[in-house]
Chain A
Amino acid sequence: MSNRLIVSRRTLLTGAAGAATLAVAPALRSPAIAQNAPLKVGLMLPYTGTYAKLGKFIDDGFRLYVEQKGGKLGGREIAFVQVDDESKPEAATDNMNRLVGREKADVVIGTVHSGVAMAMVKVARDTKTLLIIPNAGANDATGPACAPNIFRSSFSNWQTTFPMGKVLADAGIKNVATITWRYTAGAEMIDAFAENFTKHGGKIVEKMTVPFPEVEFQALLTRVATLKPDAVFSFFAGGGAVKFVKDYAAAGLGKTIPLYGAGFLTDGTLAAQGDAANGIRTTLHYADNLDIPANIAFLKAFKDKTGNVGDIYAVQGFDAAALLDAGLSAVGGDDKQRDKMIAAMGAAKIDSPRGPLAFNKAHNPIQNIYLREVRNGRNELVSIAQKDVDDPARGCKLG
């Protein structure tokens, strides 16, 4: 099977100096690697910390696809090297340089946290390393920072919440208060929602924020009760999402002011949120009960491999591998035919568990965004909020 090397946090600490030295000489990568040597895939994901579970599911999804193809993509054997990015932007450049330099990764898959991903994008641009982002939604990665060698198998922040603006306006909601963490992902998701919501005649009464990754919401919930908006739109993820949804319900606000959110508010968190999440509507590029053949097959295979119920993170990992497969298959596994490989990836049409998946000029997915509602502990499909949503890729000079 695949080689597995785990670079631990401790090894990284001791190796940090070495990595820093190597970082300045990425050009020393040997060009003489035989084509039949395994293609080295660097998985730079959060294996510890707040996003640990997301990292694991992306990892599992990616490996599942490779296993389904017999350990080979486009005929080329795949080897893995893992780095735990701990969702720490300050260590991101070193970690990425280590993967590209010392570990000689041919392709890097990463990561969840947008701050870390943007540091990876910078290194990828400098070293021309092929990078597939399996989650981080920072608009910039397929906006001003877009590059031929940078792909995304997940979503842009803009993409996931923009359709929700029309959904709320169509539901007759006039005044909305928003609440999120004060960091890029939060701002981008709220802004995209607000852009579409105000375009359809809605009004944002207040944009509230809490510092990332703080989870003390009581003061702002009191503020919501005073403002009395028609609805609240929010984005949190992971532990913060669990606590926010539970606090919102415990404050009794859910009874008079419905809570809407970006899909991440209720994704991967429902077991911990329990009844507090019932009835919350969100938009995302996936729904748990998406009744299409690719999804049914995927969920079964994922369950068989890991014992867990697959989710959107696993799908994004799975699709990252499918995207790499599309590229490698076009060049018979020879990743040195770079331009041809990238062209094939950009033109890839993937039958993803989430539905049809294509890529725009900036290499961001073009995909359906679904409206879901939490029922029976799942994010169940209500309708397609908007079909084939294409991120405007503002600031991207490609194509």
Chain B
Amino acid sequence: MDLVTFGVQLLNAVQYGMVLFLVASGLTLVFGILGVINLAHGAFYMLGAYLAYWIAAYTGSFWIAMVAGVAIAFVVGLVLESVFIRRLYGRDHLVQVLLSFGLILVIDEVREILFGKDVHSVAPPAWLAGSIQLTDNLSYPVYRLAICGFCMIVAALIFLVITRTKIGMIVRAGAENREMTRVLGIRFDVVNRYVFAVGIALAALGGIVIAPISTVFPGMGDGMLILSFVVVVLGGIGSVAGAAVGALLIGLTDTFGKVFFPSVSSILIYVLMAMVLLWRPNGILGRREV
């Protein structure tokens, strides 16, 4: 493999990793901070993609679709938290799994009623629709590069909010010691609601942003859910930085696995996960005491 091809493959790997990060970041927030296993994360990813398709087809603007889609997902997240999820804090994981599995079925059904079963595609914004010539016969869609940049901005934002703001401080305190935070008079319940809603909004945002380079189809959330869990567990539960590292590792393993070891590429990421967990049972950037 010559250097140029290697460079292109590296770009493929980073770009894929960034996409995975965008989806997994919401999962790691909800999982790590609220302690809730949300199996419906993939379903919200799919819902986001369908919303993007639907709103973009209706308004003709990808940007309106993006803002409106995220807003809808955020509101749905707030409602779900106040009706269902808040009853699950501190309860057995089995209850959470059952509830969020139920949500998958409900969301699938809603998707079917609203949007049907068809496969759709979404056009990227016109000024991002072109591509850049990389080699004599290979070009790279600008939109894929834009996603890389966008994901980095999202990552930085999440990181800043959690480490540098008062809200972030409350979130971290609540994750550390729920009872003590409450005793100190902090309305932790409200913060929880927003964290959950942000998690859902991030899943939907992932679906929306990826819709133009992926296809919008009914089962699209299933594979992404599994990959997201791998990323979260690999990086360390609750760690946004960990999710970024995990996602990049998966991207690299998957891309170069397909190139060098095509016959076993499908299991390579799971082998990677197993090895990392043997080395660091709490994930690469996971907290030791968990």
Residues of A within 8 A of B (CB): 9-10, 48-50, 52-53, 56, 182, 208-211, 213-216, 218-223, 225-226, 228, 238-240, 242-243, 246-247, 250-253, 255-257, 268-269, 271-274
Expressed in whole angstroms, the Cα–Cα distance for A206 and B256 within the complex equals: 17
Per-residue CB contact flags for chain B residues 106-126 toward chain A (1 = under 8 Å, else 0) read 001000100001111100000
Partner of A48, one of B8, B108, B265: B108
Contact B138 A246 (CB under 8 A): no
Min Cβ gap B54→A in Å is: 14
In B80-133, the 8 Å CB interface with A consists of: 105, 108, 112, 117-121, 131, 133
Contact A49 B137 (CB under 8 A): no
Min Cβ gap A199→B in Å is: 26
From B121, which residue of chain A is reached at the shortest CB distance? A272
Contact A272 B266 (CB under 8 A): no
Residues of B within 8 A of A (CB): 1-2, 5, 8-9, 12-13, 15-16, 105, 108, 112, 117-121, 131, 133, 135, 137-141, 144, 213-220, 223, 254-256, 258-259, 262, 265-266
Contact B141 A250 (CB under 8 A): yes
Which of B131, B217, B219, B259 has most chain A Cβ within 10 Å? B217
Min Cβ gap A35→B in Å is: 37
Expressed in whole angstroms, the Cα–Cα distance for A350 and B218 within the complex equals: 35
Expressed in whole angstroms, the Cα–Cα distance for A241 and B219 within the complex equals: 14
Tell me the number of A-to-B contacts counted with CB atoms below 8 Å: 112
Partner of B259, one of A223, A269, A271: A223
Min Cβ gap B156→A in Å is: 24
Q: What are 16 pairs between A and B in contact, CB < 8 Å?
A: A10-B105, A48-B112, A48-B218, A56-B117, A218-B12, A218-B16, A221-B138, A225-B5, A225-B135, A225-B138, A226-B1, A239-B219, A242-B217, A256-B137, A257-B137, A273-B121
What residues of B have a CB within 8 angstroms of the CB of A257 in the complex?
137
Expressed in whole angstroms, the Cα–Cα distance for A214 and B258 within the complex equals: 12
From A50, which residue of chain B is reached at the shortest CB distance? B219
Expressed in whole angstroms, the Cα–Cα distance for A209 and B119 within the complex equals: 23
Contact status of A251 and B140, CB under 8 A, knowing A10-B105, A214-B266, A216-B254: yes
What residues of A have a CB within 8 angstroms of the CB of B15 in the complex?
218
Contact A219 B255 (CB under 8 A): yes
Contact status of A222 and B266, CB under 8 A, knowing A252-B138, A252-B139: no
From B132, which residue of chain A is reached at the shortest CB distance? A252
What residues of A have a CB within 8 angstroms of the CB of B266 in the complex?
182, 211, 214
Contact B5 A222 (CB under 8 A): yes
Contact A49 B131 (CB under 8 A): no
What residues of B have a CB within 8 angstroms of the CB of A53 in the complex?
117-119
Contact status of A219 and B138, CB under 8 A, knowing A53-B117, A252-B131, A269-B119: no
From A244, which residue of chain B is reached at the shortest CB distance? B215
Contact A215 B8 (CB under 8 A): no
What residues of B have a CB within 8 angstroms of the CB of A52 in the complex?
117, 218
From B251, which residue of chain A is reached at the shortest CB distance? A216
Contact status of A50 and B217, CB under 8 A, knowing A9-B105, A10-B105, A242-B121: yes
Expressed in whole angstroms, the Cα–Cα distance for A246 and B144 within the complex equals: 13
Besides the known contacts A218-B16, A251-B141, A253-B138, 19 further A-B residue pairs in the complex with CB atoms under 8 A apart: A49-B218, A50-B219, A52-B117, A216-B254, A218-B15, A219-B254, A220-B258, A222-B9, A226-B2, A238-B119, A238-B217, A239-B215, A239-B217, A243-B215, A246-B121, A255-B137, A268-B119, A272-B121, A273-B121
What residues of A have a CB within 8 angstroms of the CB of B105 in the complex?
9-10
What residues of B have a CB within 8 angstroms of the CB of A251 in the complex?
131, 138-141
Expressed in whole angstroms, the Cα–Cα distance for A20 and B231 within the complex equals: 36
10 closest A-B pairs (Cβ-Cβ)?
A211-B266, A252-B139, A239-B217, A225-B138, A52-B117, A218-B12, A242-B215, A272-B121, A250-B141, A219-B258
Contact A272 B139 (CB under 8 A): no
Expressed in whole angstroms, the Cα–Cα distance for A225 and B133 within the complex equals: 12
Expressed in whole angstroms, the Cα–Cα distance for A269 and B139 within the complex equals: 24
Partner of A250, one of B9, B16, B131, B133: B131
From B133, which residue of chain A is reached at the shortest CB distance? A252
Expressed in whole angstroms, the Cα–Cα distance for A191 and B217 within the complex equals: 28
From A228, which residue of chain B is reached at the shortest CB distance? B137
What residues of A have a CB within 8 angstroms of the CB of B108 in the complex?
48
Expressed in whole angstroms, the Cα–Cα distance for A126 and B252 within the complex equals: 47
Expressed in whole angstroms, the Cα–Cα distance for A48 and B43 within the complex equals: 14
Expressed in whole angstroms, the Cα–Cα distance for A226 and B12 within the complex equals: 15
Expressed in whole angstroms, the Cα–Cα distance for A250 and B121 within the complex equals: 14
From A182, which residue of chain B is reached at the shortest CB distance? B266
Expressed in whole angstroms, the Cα–Cα distance for A10 and B258 within the complex equals: 37
Contact status of A219 and B117, CB under 8 A, knowing A48-B218, A250-B131, A257-B137: no
Expressed in whole angstroms, the Cα–Cα distance for A49 and B111 within the complex equals: 12
What residues of A have a CB within 8 angstroms of the CB of B265 in the complex?
210-211
Contact B137 A253 (CB under 8 A): yes
Partner of B137, one of A9, A214, A225: A225
Expressed in whole angstroms, the Cα–Cα distance for A182 and B262 within the complex equals: 10
Contact B137 A239 (CB under 8 A): no
Min Cβ gap B113→A in Å is: 13
What residues of B have a CB within 8 angstroms of the CB of A56 in the complex?
117
Expressed in whole angstroms, the Cα–Cα distance for A256 and B133 within the complex equals: 13
Expressed in whole angstroms, the Cα–Cα distance for A247 and B112 within the complex equals: 26
Contact status of A215 and B215, CB under 8 A, knowing A226-B5, A239-B220, A256-B137: yes
Expressed in whole angstroms, the Cα–Cα distance for A238 and B120 within the complex equals: 10
Expressed in whole angstroms, the Cα–Cα distance for A89 and B286 within the complex equals: 36
Expressed in whole angstroms, the Cα–Cα distance for A238 and B213 within the complex equals: 15
From B266, which residue of chain A is reached at the shortest CB distance? A211
Which of A50, A56, A253, A271 has most chain B Cβ within 10 Å? A50
Min Cβ gap B270→A in Å is: 11
Contact B5 A208 (CB under 8 A): no
What residues of A have a CB within 8 angstroms of the CB of B141 in the complex?
250-251
Min Cβ gap A12→B in Å is: 12
Contact status of A213 and B137, CB under 8 A, knowing A53-B119, A219-B258: no
Expressed in whole angstroms, the Cα–Cα distance for A312 and B139 within the complex equals: 34
Contact B258 A210 (CB under 8 A): yes
